[in-house]
Structure 1
C-alpha cells in the first residue's frame, strides 16, 4: 500500500535506526529530497512535528528534539507530501454500521479533509480545535478513484494491525495526486461535546461519524459494541 517514505533517526546508531551524524547519507540512499518532516516517534498530535527545508534545518530540528527528549529520543524523518490531507477512521467488523448491519471486514467512516495547516503541519488540537480546520468530504468525492484507493489502503492497514476498535489513519496526496498513509493512530483522540461550553470539541472521528448520520454517543456505542475480553488460560 502507498506509504510515505521515511526512516528512523536518533543521536546514535541502533538496529534499523540512523545516527544523526549519518542523516545526509540516509536521505540520499532513500531518494528523499527537501522539504521533509521530522517528528518524534512517540508524540502527541502534531507537537514536535517540524517541516524542514534544508539539511541544516533538519540537523538543527533533530538535535533540538533529541536533546529535549519530550517524547523520547527516537525520531522519524519523512517525505513531505504537499497535497490534500485526509484522515480516515476505521471501525472493526464487530462494530455495527449506521444502518445496523455488520461488515465482514474493517470498514471506514467518511474521510475528513484537513485544511489551514501551519508550516505544512496541522496544528495541535489543544491549540486549535479540529472543528475549525476539518470537514467531512462531500459525498460525491467518495467516487473519486484517488479517494477510493486511499480508503481501500486504510482498510487493509487496519486489517494488518488487527484493530479491535476504532483507529485513525492520516493520509496526504503527493504531487501526482496519490494519497499515501503517513500516520496510523492506534489510540486516536476521541473527545466530544460532553458538556456545555465544549460544543466545538468534536474529534476527527466524531466529525466523520456525523457525516454518516451518527451523533457522538452513537459513535461511542458502536465502539462499545465491539468490546472484547481475553479468555483465561487454563492452568495459568
Structure 2
C-alpha cells in the first residue's frame, strides 16, 4: 500500500502543493467547494472510488478526508448511499445580541454582507412606534443581506434614531454591517426581543432565495441607551435553517 508521500508523487505535484499530504489536498478541495456554495446543502459528494480515481490515490486516503469532514459537520455520511453536504442550522441565543458574522462563522461557512438600500428620512408614524419616539425626528433606514457560504442567511431591516446616533448619517455601511458598527460606538443599556413566525412575501422570498409563503423566523429587537431608543432591527431567517436557543436556571426560592 502506498503512503501519502508516494501518492503525492503519483499525481506529479511539485512545489508547495507537494508539501501537503494528499488527504489534506482532498480535504481542502471539498471544503472549498462547500464553503463557496458550489456544492450546496444536499449535494451528493462523488463516491470514494470516483475521488480515488480523480486524485490517483487509494480509497483509504479519500476515506480519511471524508471522515474528517464529517467530524466537522460539513458533510453527512450515509451507509450505502454516500456522503452529502449537510444543511447547517444556525443557533441564535434569544437573550444575547450576537454578531451575525460570528453566527455564520460558527457554522464553518464563509460570511458575506451586502447593503441593499439606505435612506435618510423624516420618521413616519410606524418609525416612531418602533423607536418609541413622540416627535418626528430624522431616522436612517437600512436594508441588508447577510450570506453564509454564498447563500442568503438573513435579511436585515433596520432603523437608526439619528437623534441618538448622529454619526450614522455619514456612515456608508457598505463594508461593515450596521449591527457591529453600532455595538462599537453606542453602549446599549437595555434591549427587547420579539420573536415571530412569518410567511415570506415576495420581497423576503427574493432576498433570501426561498419560495413565497415559506416559513421564516423573525427576530425584532429594540435597544436603548440612557433612556433613548437607539435602533430597531428586524432580522428574518429561513425557518428551516435557524433555531433560537435560550439558557436559563431555576429561580432561587426566597
TM-score, length basis structure 2: 0.23
TM-score, length basis structure 1: 0.24
Structure with more strand by fraction: 2
Structure with more helix by fraction: 2
Larger radius of gyration: 2
Which structure has more RCO (C-alpha within 8 Å, separation ≥ 6)? Answer: 1
